[in-house]
Chain A
Amino acid sequence: MLAHRLIERFLPSSVAAAIVGDLIEREVAGARLWRETAVAIWHLRDRTPPQVETMSTFISDLRLAARLLGRAPTFAITAILTLGIAIGASTAIFSVANPVLLQPLPYRNPDRVVVVWESERTGRRSTIGFATIRDYIERTATLETAAAFGSWQPTLTEGNEAERLTGVRVSATYFRTLGVTPAFGRDFRADEDVPNVPRTVILGNALWQRRFGGDSGVVGRQISIGGTGMTVVGVMPEGFDDVANPGAEIWRVLGYGVTDPYACRTCRHLQMIGRLGPNVDAERAASELTRIHGAIVAEHPKDYASVGTQVIPLKEDATRNYRAAITALGVAVILMLIIAIANVANLQLARLVRRDEEFAIRTALGASSSRLTRQLLTEAFLIAVLGGMAGVAIATVAIPALVRQLPAQLPRLGAIRLDWMALAVVGTVVLVLTVVVGMVPRHARRAATVADGLRAGRRLTGTRQSAIRGGLVVTELAFALMLLVGAGLLARSVVRLLSVDTGFDPHNLLTLEVNSVGPRYQTDAAVFDYHDKVRAAVQALPGVVSVAVVNQLPLGGNFDTYGIVAQDKPLANPEQAPSGDRYVISADYLRTMRIRILEGRTFTEAEERDSVNLVTLVSKALATRVWPNESAIGKRIRMGGPDRPWRTVIGVTADVRHSGLDATVTQQFYVPERQWFFSDDQEVLVVRTRGDPAAMAGVVRQAIRAIDPVQPIVKIAAMEQVIAASTAQRRLALVLFGCFAIAAMLLAVAGIYGVLAGNVAERTREIGLRAALGATPMSILRLIVGQGARLAVVGLGAGLFGAFALTKSLQALLFGIGPHDPTTIAAATMLLLATTLAACLIPALRALRVDPSQAFRND
């Protein structure tokens, strides 16, 4: 009956029994029963002042907890640091992942912004020609608006300082398609996006602040871009980030006309973005655009090699190269977090064993069980809070360091900051888990009675507690193995990647970009003359072996390719011709880069100036593709369209890695600078040095400045740095994964050591007894190590399953190695097993030294 239960719940049991017994005996029921119940509880409830749960008890608990922690500094520091590193690392990773991967882009209806690509037969995607984009825009019904854009590297020559900027040439509809408007001034107008009208630009906020002092009067003014005046019509808002063109600071209208030679269907150098109409998804747009693409190809069969159209949400497109790394790091950091919590729980548990007597005494002195529980809770809380504070400190330092390591192409880099939300979530999870797990030991120790605690030496062996600690250690080992396998796979990938033959010698090679913009360089001759002077000046420097210019660097992230037509191999559809990376070089380039010539020869300075007999070298891949069974030497090829001249192949070079160490080998051709049909206003200078190339940077820069002080010199770097930068994503993943894995391994090993050490301490008597009864040292060793080995085997077994699951998510980051590479998995397992067993040996040896007479002395 409820009334009876209430009385029994609220009144001391003997009083309750008396009253309830009376009520039953009298058969009291109904309203009378309730009146009896209420009066009884009211009159007879416990009136001794209850232990008031006020803030002041909490604070005194906290003080006590702090004092106790201070008395166990090793425990306190280990626990706080462990939690701090885990919280700090996870907060840092989530602070990066949140704006980069998770948060919607800061545009209007950002999920409707898409990037449009054409897909090639090989499955690769390609940029699109202007005429094609125009057709798409005219015929589409699924895209509300769309825009074309192409890269633009203007040189701002305001005042005395020339500055190379990252810019974009865009359709007038570009910003509307993204869903942003200038902070002031206006957007581009359609009547500006035509050929032969005065050019207009929009400035990024940072550029406007930096170069124009944040003066709003700049709108309407002409600024000098490479010597040409362009009118500023608007300034973008602060914090605007052009995700389609990371780092862009200045935008200019495209201004193409259909009849322009570079607007042709085969001039596929533009990209396209679109804004989906309401209730249209990317798939529907893709199927519509693929249909349109089919129609266009049918109308112009000789202009296309592409087979369809891809429509990809902008966010996904911009992060596709980094998603894998950041996701993998997220997983790694969660594993790390779990390990840390398990470890802290383990530490607390180990500590509790040593506190049996303390608790027994306090219980004997009248502390209630709930009081002791609250004390433990407070200690766990204090550790979690201090760990959280350490975490904030670590995250504050780690985030800027992490951002520096991230590739600049990553979208929304500027939006990365300590994410308090992430910290709050991680912190709360850690707090709750630490406190909850901190309670487990309390339950585990309940079994120990006051008497047990006080009767020193007669402690429970605590099977239940051992099981919990064993479970925690198994968890730690499993996750540590997962991290270790991941780190091993990444490390071997990076090693394999860096041992890929680049086709050139990157040691002692300085690279830098020189520009020739402005009125002095309006003719090709002036540009070539400038390059000659620069080369001569640098060549004259002591410590320089040789020097050359080239339009683009291998592995420098450039994308300058041309279709190649061989005179003796006519194709029905010229778009299916092979394409090659264009290397426009000075005579010394191959020698400076140490690119091997496999057949034939390179050209001389004299040949370079010959404008009638045009020469070229092709890479081995290109030669084998076009002339599989014959020599390429003496054959003639043409690049850049049917009205360009034929060039004679005089040499075949070794292949160089152009687009990435992990990318398939591309085809290349080399042409003397003076024999190409235009001059490039930005060239890369490659300098072979005798010693450390970085040390030469200063003098090389001075030598070039002496020739023309206003030309910007940018991207000075040793070639090895350029290569390293091309593998940045994997290196970052590797470094972080490696750190997590090592930390996890240390924690797991420390955990298993702690369990066994505690176990040996608890079993001193048992071991002594065994020794006294004639157990051999070997059997005692086996007893202890065997226990560790059992934990290790269970943990590592579980870890192997986990590793199989985890490494699949790493696949995109691996190179030249499978996600289930048996060698790596075996090595990681052996490493962990070996360190674990080594950790077991220490307590095992201690067990061996147990002296039977000492073991029983206390009894």
Chain B
Amino acid sequence: MLGELEQIVLLAVLRVGEGAYGVPVHDEIVRLAQRDLTLGTVYKTLSRLEDKGFVRSYEGEPTPQRGGRRTRCFAVTTAGRKSLEATFATLRRMAVGLDVGLEPT
């Protein structure tokens, strides 16, 4: 079972797709989750996910607008995707039959 922040970050990485790194991931979270997280929090969550084997990271290319610093890119692993699915499945099961507007559509 993933924590909320973990779900949000995992989903953001999935949404950005190929070459996801700090800035676009953070942008997705701000735009869709409407949460103003710090980059530190995002990276911290990513590193926890990496420890659990749900994402993997690799070094990207340095760019001039980054002051020549390399990006750290993240991709969701199969285990990560499965864990996300499991979490959603659990939520769906728990919500079935409840007439409070939480029913999966």
Instruction: Report the nearest A residue to B65, measured CB to CB.
Output: A25
Of residues 588 to 633 in A, which have CB atoms within 8 Å of B's CB atoms?
Answer: none
Best-surrounded residue of A14, A22, A44 (most CB of chain B within 10 A): A22
The verdict on A18 contacting chain B, using a C-beta distance below 8 Å, is yes
B101 within 8 A of A: no
Q: Decide if B41 touches A19 in the complex (CB within 8 Å).
A: no
Give the nearest-CB partner of A24 in chain B. B67
Shortest distance from the beta carbon of B85 to any chain A beta carbon, whole Å: 28
Partner of B72, one of A18, A25, A26, A36: A18
* A-B pairs under 8 A by CB, number: 69
Looking at B21, B40, B62, which has the most chain A CB atoms within 10 Å of its CB? B40
Name the CB-closest residue of A to B73. A18
A18 touches B40 (CB 8 A): no
Pair A35/B22 contact, Cβ less than 8 Å: no
Closest to A41 in B: B40
Interface string of A7-44 (1 = CB under 8 A from B): 00000001101111111111000000001100111111
CB of B39 within 8 A of CB of A19, answer: yes
Bound Cα distance A534, B62 (Å)? 112
Q: Does B70 contact A (CB under 8 A)?
A: yes
With A42-B40, A43-B43 known as contacts, the answer to whether A19 contacts B22 (CB < 8 A) is yes
**Also in contact, A18 and B41, with CB within 8 A (given A25-B23, A26-B23, A44-B47):** no
**B103 contacts the other chain (Cβ, under 8 Å)?**
no
On whether the beta carbons of B43 and A36 are closer than 8 Å, the reply is: no
Interface status of B44 (Cβ within 8 A of chain A): yes
Chain A residues with CB below 8 A from B21, complex form: 18, 22
* Distance of A216 Cα from B83 Cα, bound (Å): 100
CB atoms of A21 and B62 under 8 A apart: yes
Is B38's CB under 8 angstroms from A18's CB?
no
Neighbouring A residues of B38 by C-beta, 8 Å: 35-36, 39-40
Q: Within the complex, what minimum Cβ distance (angstroms) separates A41 from chain B?
A: 8
**Shortest beta-carbon distance from B27 to chain A in Å:** 9
Residues of A contacting B47 with CB < 8 Å? Answer: 15, 44
Chain A contact surface mostly: helix
A23 to nearest B CB, angstroms? Answer: 7
| Residue of A with least CB distance to B72 | A18
Does B93 lie at the interface of the complex (its beta carbon under 8 Å from any beta carbon of A)?
A: no
Inside 8 A of A44's CB, which chain B residues have their CB?
Answer: 40, 43-44, 47
Q: A-facing mask of B23-42, CB < 8 A → 1, else 0?
A: 10010000000000011110
- Whether B59 and A14, one on each chain, are in contact in the complex, defined by CB atoms closer than 8 angstroms, is yes
Tell me if A18 and B65 are in contact (CB < 8 A). Answer: no
On whether A22 and B65 interact (CB within 8 A), knowing A44-B43, A44-B47, the answer reads: no
In angstroms, Cα B40 to Cα A19, docked, is 8
**Bound-state Cα–Cα, A40 to B70, Å:** 17
B59 neighbours in A (Cβ, 8 Å): 14
A18 to B47, CA, bound (A): 12
CA distance A44 to B66 in the complex (A): 20
Please determine whether A15 and B69 come into contact, CB atoms closer than 8 angstroms: no
Residue tally, chain B, CB below 8 Å to A: 21
> Which of B38, B62, B65 has most chain A Cβ within 10 Å?
B38
**B71 at interface, CB cutoff 8 A:** yes
Which chain B residues lie closer than 8 Å to A39 at the CB level?
A: 38-41
Cα A131 to Cα B15 with chains together (Å): 116
Q: Nearest-CB distance from B101 to chain A (Å)?
A: 35
A21 touches B69 (CB 8 A): yes
Contact A36 B66 (CB under 8 A): no
Bound Cα distance A39, B45 (Å): 12
Complexed CA–CA distance, A154 and B63 (Å): 102
B-facing mask of A751-781, CB < 8 A → 1, else 0? 0000000000000000000000000000000
Q: How far is the CA of A26 from the CA of B47 in the complex (A)?
A: 21
Contact pick for A17, options B23, B26, B44, B69, CB 8 Å: B69
CA distance A373 to B40 in the complex (A): 35
- Nearest B residue to A40 by beta-carbon distance? B40
Nearest Cβ distance between residue A18 and chain B, in whole angstroms? 4
Say yes or no: B67 contacts A20, CB within 8 Å.
yes
Bound Cα distance from A19 to B39, whole angstroms: 7
| Residue on B nearest A43 in the bound complex, by CB | B44
For the complex formed, measure the closest distance between the CB of B84 and the CB atoms of chain A, giving whole angstroms: 23
Q: Are A18 and B22 in contact (CB under 8 A)?
A: yes
A36 to B: closest C-beta gap in Å: 5
B43 to chain A, nearest CB (A): 6
Greatest chain B CB density within 10 A among A35, A36, A43 is at A43
Given contacts A36-B40, A44-B44, contact A18 B69 (CB under 8 A): yes
Nearest neighbor of A23 in chain B, beta-carbon distance: B39
A43 CB contacts on chain B under 8 angstroms: 40-41, 43-44
Contacts of B43 in A (CB 8 A): 15, 18-19, 40, 43-44
**Distance of B36 from chain A, by nearest CB (Å):** 10
Which B residues touch A14, using CB under 8 A? 59, 70, 72
- How many Å from the CB of B61 to the closest CB on chain A? 11
In chain A, positions 645-678 with a C-beta closer than 8 Å to chain B are none
A18 and B70 alpha carbons, distance in the complex (Å): 6
What separation, in Å, do the CA atoms of A23 and B26 have in the docked complex? 11
Q: Which of A21, A39, A42 neighbours the largest number of chain B CB atoms within 10 Å of its CB?
A: A21
6 contacting pairs across A/B (C-beta < 8 A): A15-B47, A19-B39, A25-B23, A26-B23, A36-B39, A40-B40
Q: With contacts A21-B22, A25-B23 known, what are 4 further pairs, Cβ within 8 A?
A: A21-B63, A25-B63, A40-B40, A40-B43
Q: Hey, which bits of chain B sit against chain A, CB under 8 A?
A: 21-23, 26, 38-41, 43-44, 47, 59, 62-63, 65-67, 69-72
